[in-house]
Structure 1
């Protein structure tokens, strides 16, 4: 038996087996590029992995996308309790940071938006203005606003007359306000224009109860009214006008010749004296009151436009302004306004349990419905005006500026802890809802197979080799040594068989 055969043959087989396996493994990665000799491509170049890199990358990407990071796997991982706890923790940290931050909200937005901050705020202001205008212009919203205003108006006009605070309403300074005077003058002018075309009689407009009330008011307050009338007639400017009227009456009834024998001053004085005596003597006072009642009845049956044509004291708007100024001047005197309050109070004291609305309804039975229509129409017209849009925009601008000037910490102090917890719950709720309902869209958007494929394609061959070897280096070494062991067995078996 030759001992050398038992040594050389197995060792040679072992070396050959080890080397061939080592070479095969190396040829998986090397060479990295194709090699040529005299222009002829050397077989097995480049290595298997560099040569099939595109196919391997595509296959690995598909495998990872379909089996490792599938839609179900991603959803399960993204809604895992640890992930949700991490989101909650990040939210809590964010709230803690905001509570400690003394910077203004404006400063934060400047950092985030930079030069686009002002444009963004202007855009928000514009959209909020449009939103508010569109909402309040909505038919249902207009009805709600109208109902809200009418509820307050009805509360006021449903009050009893005796509960109305006259001391606060009837004030001299109120009548002296320019806006009040302009409004009254406008109403009088409009009323005058309407009267000149009114075919109806006063009796068709004014209820009988009101006529009786007027007569009763005149009868009960005749002395004080007469006193006011005399005070007014004794004013120098009024005296002159009355004297002129008396002379014109005499001329119309007697002729111009009679004026030569008439003293206007004496006639005026006699007229004033007669009125004073009539007030003092009961029989004359009663006769005057009967004449007033008859005149009221006569006036009630005349077409309104006839009275409007006969009354020429204010045929021009400027005259109405003059008359109104004189009336207001008269009632700005404390003693005169006190008399007016007394008359109204005495009238009210006899009208117990009567509301303002009931009095208005005697003239305009459908006043509530009419007021509702007018308010709604007025609001609708008001909303269309540009100045309203500007005011709403100005209000929004001021509120946004006030909000932006507030520090983050101060604003956060107004946020209760329960609100913070509620925000965290909402964030988690919407996060889970989005992940579950939009998982297919997320996976499609991510395109994991393509990401993996591109990532592998971008790897250098050396780096790819290092990655693979870092994973299976031990196994590849085991295969190399296994080749040596198998070569040893293969080399040993023939020698053993030949020597048996």
Structure 2
């Protein structure tokens, strides 16, 4: 007993340590949790059969063995309704061509097997004494069938039937909307095809040469023509030119008023007037100089230039009379310029300068045609135009393009098909088949 007390007293300080208590608590909880989980899992499956003594059940079956039928039904129901339903099975068999592929494989293998066998011909299977009459009958029948086929293909009933067939098929196809015939991928391919064709045409050396030739001819015509310049413009263009030029009268008047009222202008005008006044004063007789003061004259000039003159100029320029006169002057100048040929207006242009002008115009035109902005505009125009066509039917588009295009298409297809069927070669091919 004393020995046990000594051991307890010895270990008592160790177990009073906080860290030891925490470690023991964690160890106990871990062992307890593991043992409890192990026991719970084991009780799900064990015992597989109830343990009885003298007919008394001491330990019943585990939960899963005891309810396995109900669990199997529940799992089967869940799999059948949620995971692999009847609709899923039918879709896999029929909707995705699984069953069709299997049947096709069986049929193809059976067909290949039958085709690989060698069978005697019908003529070889006949008795020898019947072969000649049968061959003669077949040959005669073949000739009759050939003549009948040829007559049928060239008969009026066949022609009308073919025309009706072509008409029905064309009407059926043309009644569809463009969006039904052309899907999004095909639409993008069509737009891309047109964009590539246009871009290749714009970047081709042939177009550049054509543009250079056209601009060269037009510039030469303009530089050497004796035709009045006005013949190159319409009446609306000339009226627009005069209108735009007339709109510049007010800014010009404002600018002239500013120039007239500027200090530098006033000083120059005052200096000129003062010079004239000085010459006039020097030429006066002596007795008149007594009554006229040079300083007064100079002062009057300053007042005139600094005060009266700007106001008078502004009133004159902003008046209706000046505006009307300016407009008449501009219209007359434009009419006079348009009535003369271009060589009279600009004179003779040196060949070197004319060549540089042509090259500059060609470069500017090609830069515009090959620029990103033009490419984007063309792409947007193509996309927008084709998008507008998608909701419409094909026959409506053809009627818009040409009122008789649909009938011409039907006639062309009917005529082509009839010409093929009416040939002797077609009858021979059908007879040989």
TM-score when normalising by structure 1? 0.42
- Structure scoring higher RCO (CA < 8 A, sep ≥ 6) equals 1
TM-score when normalising by structure 2? 0.47
